[in-house]
Amino acid sequence: MQKNISVLAGDGIGPEITTATVKVLKSVNQHFNHALTPTVGLVGGDAYDRYGVHLPEETIALAEKSDAILFGAVGGPVNQPDNPRFKNVEKNVILALRQRFDLFANLRPLKILPIAAAASPLKKKIINGLDILIVRELVSGIYFGPRRQYEENGERVAEDTNRYKAGEIERILRVGFKAAAGRRRKATVVDKANVLETSRLWRSVTEAVKKDFSEVAVEYMYIDNAAMQLVRAPANFDVIITENMFGDILSDLGGAVVGSIGLLPSASLNGRNFGLYEPIHGSAPDIAGKNIANPTAQIFSLALMLRHTFGLEREAEAVEKAVSAAWAKGLKTKDLAAPGEPWLGTKEFGQAVADLI
């Protein structure tokens, strides 16, 4: 298979984890006789230094000629909030890419991995069997609705508008129901329909769409209850489908439940299987350049790319099994190693996984 991949490493640990992951990609090419070609583009601070913007047109043009995007991370030190290299960088890059390519479906798998199970704050009996897919609508809702600040009777007021069209809801529901049909055939639609008009529209559209997926059991759950159940009995969930802000909250909560946000990948897809694949952790500038970042979430994001954009299930499984095989051999990054236990740097762990493909 011949495909083009835009590699947008970004800031902080982004370049390190992306370089390690590209090693794994090249190993996949070698062992499965593919030509999945990575080409590097600039985003974030380095792009600002060169072009004066965080997401230059040159990078957008590169992505438009590609079949998928492998994304690292963007963002700078928290003590430099007004640094022009990083100010509003997430909005200028992540949100802009989502809108530009209509990446409306965000897939975030949450699964208990043996190596991180002990790090979960929950008891083993609670997390046993946890395997959830969160399907989050990504380009609408309150993050993209009209917003403003103004004065009213001498007092400052701010407004953010949560706005959804029925068609936007329908397409994300179909992604979620299709995923559920291939898993344990249960979908939980999370909303706040006792308060929000947008949530009542979600329920109305759900009632219509679920008729096309009779094999999937559909339940509704309020966001506050869903957050509680994700901690109390997470193994009861299969696929969670929800709006943009609720999905953002539940995804990060789920990361804490499974023990490490540093191991979790994500896929953001449009209706043509074009996708942006990235770890859900941040740029971690405090450890950048030290060769101690864990590239596992980025490597797992590559596996999602192979599976969802290119339809290469065997290759995706090979990547995931190579990571597990590395751990089974005692090959770990610093964050997963016990005190006094040997560990591998970012580059070395990426090479180890590549060697095990």
For 124, 137, 241, 288, the CA distances from 237, given in Å and listed in that order, are: 16, 18, 11, 36
178, 142 contact by CB (below 8 A): no
- Candidates 26, 46, 87, 143; catalytic one: 143
Report the sign of the C-alpha dihedral through residues 204, 270, 251, 76, in that order: negative
Query: Does the active-site annotation cover 224?
Result: yes
Judge whether 251 and 136 are in contact, CB under 8 Å.
yes
Tell me if residue 150 is catalytic.
no
Q: Which two tokens stand for residue 339?
A: 């005190």
Residue pair 177/209 in contact (Cβ under 8 Å)? The answer is yes
178 is catalytic: no
Q: Which H/E stretch holds residue 207?
A: helix 197-209
Strands (E) across the chain are located at 2-10, 35-41, 68-73, 105-111, 131-137, 147-152, 155-160, 186-191, 217-222, 239-242, 265-269, 275-279
Q: Check if 220 is active-site.
A: no
Q: Exactly one of 191, 248, 277, 334 is catalytic; name it.
A: 248
Q: Which amino acid is at 12?
A: G
Distance CA 86, CA 59 (A): 17
313 vs 3: CA distance, rounded Å? 16
Of 49, 212, 224, 286, the active-site residue reads 224
**Catalytic residue among 102, 160, 252, 335, which?**
252
* Per annotation, catalytic residue among 23, 192, 332, 334: 192
Residue 164 appears among annotated catalytic residues: no
Active site residue ranges: 143, 192, 224, 248, 252
